[in-house]
Amino acid sequence: MWGAVLLVYFPRWAPVRPPTDAEIVALNIPGWFRALRPVLIPPDFFKVIAMALGYSAGGHEAYLMGKWSPQGWWYYFPAAFVLKSSVAFVILTMAGFVCFIRRFRSIRLLEYVSWLAAGLYLALAMTSHVNIGVRHLLPMVALCCVGIGCAASRLN
C-alpha cells in the first residue's frame, strides 16, 4: 500500500520546507509525525495527513442518544455499531466472537487476524474526537464478516 502511495505522489515529489511553529500548533502535528516526515512522506500526502490528525484532535460537534458534545465520546463507535447495524448482524458478530474466544487455543493463526484487526480498528476509532457517523466503521464490518465465516466453518 505504501508503495502505491509513493508511486502516485512521485511526479509531484519535491523537497518541502519544514512546517513553521505556527503551522505545527494550528494543525496540531504530533512530534513523531514531524520526525518521520522527511524520510518517506511526500509533501502533499504529509499535508493531508497532518490536516486530518489536527481535525481529529480538535473534535467535531457530535450527537448521540439525545446529547450533543463538541468533543464526542470514547464509546461513540461501539454504540453506533450496535445501534445502527441490523439486529441479526450484531447477534452473528457476538456469536462469532464468543465461538472465537471459546476455541481460542485450537484456532489457526490466520483466523485470529480478522478479530484482532477488527478490534484494533475499533480501538483506534474510539480515540477519535470526530464522531460523525457509523460509516467510518465499514472496514471493521468486513473484518467481522470474515470472523463470522471462520466461526461458522468450525460449527459441526
Domain boundaries, the chain: 2-58, 62-153
CA distance 17 to 9: 17
Average pLDDT score over residue span 71-75: 76
* One-letter identity of residue 94: M
Q: What is the pTM of this model?
A: 0.62
CA distance 41 to 33: 10
Spell out the residues 6+ positions from residue 65 whose beta carbon is closer than 8 angstroms to its own: 79
CA distance 129 to 78: 14
Cell numbers representing residue 25 in the block = 500548533
Name which residue leads in pLDDT, 7 or 101: 101
Average pLDDT score over residue span 35-40: 66
Q: How confident is the model at residue 125 (pLDDT cuts 50, 70, 90)?
A: confident
Q: How confident is the model at residue 44 (pLDDT cuts 50, 70, 90)?
A: low
The H or E element containing residue 62 is strand 62-64
